[in-house]
Structure 1
Amino acid sequence: MIRDAIVVGDGVVGLNVALALQRRGVIVTLLAPDAPWRGASWGNAGHIAVEQVEPLASRATIRSVPKRLFSLGGALALPPRAVAAWLPFSLRMLRASAPERFSRGKAALAAMLATAVPAWRDVLDDVGAAHLLRVDGHFVVWETPESAARGRAAWMATDTGTATVRDATADELARLATLTSAPIAGAVRFEGSGQITDTSALGHVLDDVFMTRGGMRVYGRAVGITTGGRGAQVEIENTATYDADVVVVAAGAASAPLIAPLGLRAPLIAERGYHIEGDPGDWPDDMPPVVFEDRSMIVTRFAKRLRAASIVEFARVDTPADPRKWARLRTHVAALGLGLREPVEPWIGARPTLPDYLPAIGRRGAIAYAFGHQHLGLTLSATSGEALAAMLHGETPAFDLGPFDLARFG
């Protein structure tokens, strides 16, 4: 029986874990630094990406690296100053992309993704915020006939799980053409994927409900976790130690050092993303996310902002931001003639990524964990929280958690 729990991390995964535990009568304390809403949970494209059933740890991804490099105009950055971080990770990713491991990972990820939208509907119905989820798909567009032919063929041949993909209609193409001054040579529309319409509002709603239901917050940085006595203890930097029946580590890219002393190995890297956002201008508020695939950029309209997001930068969490990445985004926005109005604000955040591109969800005694969701943190957070809480209470989760246990890394 779990009476109380400490959740380390207040991103979208941590909040969903906390709420799922509360629904089972657990007294929950959230532990996090006093700077919420700045991480990858809130700076992403808002896309519920159920179509991404193929892990990025694949031979196809590795073959595509040269043409994706930032130095050659692409969105993949391997900063020389961070080589000590990304080179070992890249070698692990290469091993994880072996066909048999990729096949197992795809099956596990597809099963998990199939539960993502139902889980979000359940959570948002529970907190009275169903309006924050819109399941009306997204567009992928191309600017040249050649890239349109290649891109369309690739997506039509790809397993997209519970999502479907079709050619954009004439009316849809005409509407997309009003968004940009660049030519649109082709487009497809996905159906079954979705969007959180306002990530900031989502964070505040989840946090407000958590507090209303008796949740507690402790502001500080966890520096150590131990087990013993009635459960586990968390040491907070320069303050105190808190204990509970269970401690859940959901601290994103900062999770690995917290669990390493417990014998849990998590070879995380900070896969950093950049965005710029500003006033949406005339961009329709009901337009689904639009991926400009030639530029590896996704543009999403939120309640009062328009956000252009891109870049995969393998580095350490504390590596200084690279202003060239924001400049590249501004160049793309200008070239497309998008209605992104000043003042335009930059952002950088770290996606917590493991070499096989599967999240880490599991338990070792009084320690549980949920992190490493890479590009799918927002997508998978609701189902991750529910699955972990179910496991901790001896219930059967909606998908098999075995493939996500950290035992896979030894």
Structure 2
Amino acid sequence: MDDRIRYIFIMQNRNENIAIIGGGILGMTTALALLDAGHRVTIFDPDEALQAASWGNAGHIAVEQVEPIASPATLASLPRHLLDRNSALSLPWRAAGAWLPFGMALARAARPAAFAQGRAALTSLVSGAMQAWVDLVERLGEPDLLIREGHYIVWDTAESARLGMARWQAMQAPTASFRPVTAQETEELTRLTGRAPAGALRTMDSGQIASHTRLHAALKRAILQAGGLWKAEAASLQVDSKGLCHITGHGAFSHVVMAAGIGSRPLMEHLGHRVPMIAERGYHLHSSGTRWPQTMPPVVFEDRSMIVTRFEDGLRASSFVEFATPDFPADPRKWALLRQHLAALDLPFDLPGKEWMGARPTLPDYLPAIGRSRQIGNLFYAFGHNHLGLTLGPVTAALMAELIAGQTPRIDLAPFDLARFSRKDAA
């Protein structure tokens, strides 16, 4: 169906009038899915500078990540991280009011039985992620936005390589496979640093996007061409006497979808929901230099908790897990440590690089919130995707379209119900 026929079809088959709060990857892909289903859609998003986590991430389609970070392994590694001054994990004391209760809830979610349930739920969601991305870029008419060449995981020392390779190869991930690198791949990695890695794996089924800027432009163009509206403003929400959600000053919407990332927490709590979400902040440096080979897949330097990705507009080094509040001041030492890693590895990265810091929206069990409000009849939500927002955006959008249409979603959404945090045993 060409764009003109698609537009005529949509305009003649309008159904519900839907507001989406948030214009990140979740909000935009959900908007497009709903427009294609024949609905009227308005997006509210004030982030014109594209500073949200959707556009500052490593660009990695991480279908290999089927285990929630809230795990026994994470708890076991915590003392080592806290004692390492150069650790990628940061718990600022001035933000203890945010991360201490979150950490206690994470510990409960990491108990073996809870972790096993979370892993099963996340696997069901991740399993559809790559096909959803294939469908999306085809819908956008830009299939080259998705690069399916996998990625490398490398280690600095023989011991960390032995342990890391065993851990990844033992992972039962139905969405990805891992293999040792070939001699030719070892040569390519060696040329990056001037020395061979102590060990390396190639993940065969993951991918990356070619450009955040082009992805955003293509999504916005498709949304507008399909008749969607875009309001570059924050939304103020209120609930009427009938228990329905409205947006102040913008009339009535039949449905409201909360997809505002870290900004979803205050809005949802204002409406009476419990959302124990934290700002899990990440940092990156972006260089416009092109000395890194264009065809090199993303490289994860696991000993340094750093991933380097080549995009159309340059090179990005991303790292750090910093638990704080969204408005907590950025820590310049994080960028300094990133520069130290890049220099120590002698990577072809033009320093100093452009600095960015953004907040991943993370819930204690490291599962997203996807579903329908139990308190407000026309309120739906899709947020809290932590490190997997880019990966899970399109597949979550398809689930939201099914849910709003009154269909049975393709996977069980019970594990992602926000009400799980209102139960007596929740944190």
- Asked if structure 1 preserves the Cα contact closer than 8 Å seen for 2:63 and 2:129, the reply is yes
Task: Look up the match of 2:161.
Answer: 148
* Post-superposition offset of 1:182: 4.8
Task: Look up the match of 2:131.
Answer: 118
* Post-superposition offset of 1:2: 5.0
Task: Look up the match of 2:85.
Answer: 72
1:391 partnered with 2:403? yes
Task: Look up the match of 1:302.
Answer: 311
Q: 1:407 aligns with which of 405, 416, 419?
A: 419
Relative to 1, partners in 2 of residues 1:25 and 1:314: Cα closer, same or farther, differing over 3 Å? same
* Post-superposition offset of 1:304: 2.1
- 2:98 and 2:37 mapped to 1: Cα distance? 39
* Post-superposition offset of 1:183: 4.2
Equivalent AA in structure 1 for residue 400 of structure 2: L
Counterparts in 2 of 1:10-409, with a 5 A limit? 10-69=23-82, 71-227=84-240, 231-235=244-248, 240-342=249-351, 344-364=353-373, 365-409=377-421
- Asked if structure 1 preserves the Cα contact closer than 8 Å seen for 2:176 and 2:204, the reply is yes
- 1:404 and 1:197 mapped to 2: Cα distance? 30
Q: Deviation per CA, 1:201-248: give whole Å up to 9, x if none.
A: 11111011101111111122224332556953123xxxx344200010
Q: Normalising to structure 2: TM-score of the pair?
A: 0.92
- 2:146 and 2:387 mapped to 1: Cα distance? 18
Relative to 1, partners in 2 of residues 1:273 and 1:34: Cα closer, same or farther, differing over 3 Å? closer
- 1:394 and 1:241 mapped to 2: Cα distance? 25
- Asked if structure 1 preserves the Cα contact closer than 8 Å seen for 2:150 and 2:202, the reply is yes
Q: Deviation per CA, 1:80-111: give whole Å up to 9, x if none.
A: 11000000000010111111111111001001
User: Structure 1 or 2: larger strand share?
Assistant: 1
- 1:398 and 1:111 mapped to 2: Cα distance? 10
- 2:96 and 2:353 mapped to 1: Cα distance? 31
- 2:83 and 2:138 mapped to 1: Cα distance? 41
- 1:355 and 1:182 mapped to 2: Cα distance? 40
- 2:186 and 2:408 mapped to 1: Cα distance? 45
More displaced stretch, 308-317 vs 207-216:
207-216
The ranges of structure 1 where at least 4 consecutive aligned residues each deviate by more than 6 angstroms after the TM superposition are: none
- Asked if structure 1 preserves the Cα contact closer than 8 Å seen for 2:262 and 2:361, the reply is yes
Relative to 1, partners in 2 of residues 1:242 and 1:88: Cα closer, same or farther, differing over 3 Å? farther
Identity of aligned residues (%): 49
* Post-superposition offset of 1:170: 0.8
- Asked if structure 2 preserves the Cα contact closer than 8 Å seen for 1:279 and 1:343, the reply is no
Q: Which runs of 5+ in 1 are unaligned?
A: none
Relative to 1, partners in 2 of residues 1:104 and 1:370: Cα closer, same or farther, differing over 3 Å? same
- 1:192 and 1:148 mapped to 2: Cα distance? 21
The alignment of Structure 1 onto Structure 2 pairs a total of residues equal to: 406
- 1:287 and 1:397 mapped to 2: Cα distance? 37
- SS of 1:370 mapped into structure 2: strand
- SS of 1:341 mapped into structure 2: coil
- SS of 1:184 mapped into structure 2: coil
